């Protein structure tokens, strides 16, 4: 099928342009932030509204700085070593989820320590809201016609503007479904059980494993970045970067299940 006629730029006035990609980031962050607020009120978590308002700013910095640094480091380091100023040109694209994830982890840890909030309590709240941002981000990737899949003869294959003459897997939508919709539903089924909520870090572990597995699967259909290509055994950079997430997720789940600390046994009411 032909690629939908969607302009990546929603509105442009002279040099000023509003892009769907930027709106996707804003929507993901704002809706995720609002959802965390609802969860705090519903389950009476000891985190104030003022705390959450401040935390949003920290997360934005973590996502933008971490995402950009991760892309530079993991996906195109040689280019940016020779063109260091290009690393600042974020409007030209180039963001890494894994880098953004590291940025959010650092922001969450520092913010929690500063405000004396239990780190894993805040991490679990972020985990159940993160798929919202992932969904919007992947849909924006599709609108931009970037990060498309490999050539396919499937009837839903899409001929992307920059993907050549053959139809390709709309792998961005596969990711939106797995990392966004399905992972969100699963996590928010789990959070209904107090036994799971009080096991600090368990929801974070489930998110990490869920994302890592979803990304690993979709990479089987996604076209690797042209300047990287396939790695050892036909694997991709996205798959290799997902392995640590799965391992850390398993460790967090194991710790949440077997650790007998008081914070894992009692929920604020």
Say if residues 115 and 51 touch (Cβ distance below 8 Å): yes
∠65-182-109 over CA atoms, to 5°?
Answer: 35
Residue 85, classified by CB atoms within 10 Å of its CB into exposed (0-12), middle (13-18) or buried (19+), is: exposed
Say if residues 53 and 74 touch (Cβ distance below 8 Å): no
How far apart are alpha carbons 39 and 58 in whole angstroms? 19
Q: Is the dihedral of CA 81, 83, 88, 89 positive or negative?
A: negative
Run of H or E including 19: strand 16-19
Q: Which two tokens stand for residue 162?
A: 């920059």
68 annotated ligand binder:
no
Binding-site residues, in ranges, read 138
């Amino acid at each position: 099928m032909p690629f939908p006629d969607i302009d990546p730029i929603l509105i442009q006035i002279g040099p000023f342009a509003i892009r769907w990609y930027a709106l996707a980031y804003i929507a993901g962050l704002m809706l995720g932030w609002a959802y965390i607020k609802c969860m705090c009120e519903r389950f009476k978590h000891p985190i104030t509204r003022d705390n959450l308002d401040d935390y949003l700013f920290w997360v934005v910095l973590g996502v933008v700085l971490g995402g950009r640094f991760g892309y530079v480091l993991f996906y195109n380091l040689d280019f940016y070593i020779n063109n260091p100023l290009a690393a600042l040109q974020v409007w030209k694209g180039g963001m890494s989820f894994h880098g953004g994830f590291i940025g959010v982890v650092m922001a969450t840890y520092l913010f929690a320590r500063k405000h004396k909030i239990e780190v894993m309590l805040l991490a679990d709240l972020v985990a159940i809201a993160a798929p919202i941002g992932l969904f919007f981000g992947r849909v924006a990737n599709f609108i931009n016609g970037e990060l498309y899949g490999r050539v396919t003869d499937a009837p839903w294959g899409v001929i992307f503007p920059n993907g050549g003459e053959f139809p390709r897997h709309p792998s961005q939508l596969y990711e939106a479904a797995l990392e966004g919709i399905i992972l969100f539903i699963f996590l928010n089924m789990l959070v209904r059980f107090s036994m799971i909520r009080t096991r600090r870090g368990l929801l974070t572990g489930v998110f990490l494993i869920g994302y890592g597995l979803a990304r690993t699967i979709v990479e089987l259909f996604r076209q690797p970045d042209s300047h990287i290509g396939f790695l050892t055994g036909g694997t991709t950079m996205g798959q290799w970067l997902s392995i640590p997430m799965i391992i850390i997720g398993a460790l967090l789940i194991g710790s949440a299940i077997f650790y007998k600390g008081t914070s894992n046994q009692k929920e604020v009411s």
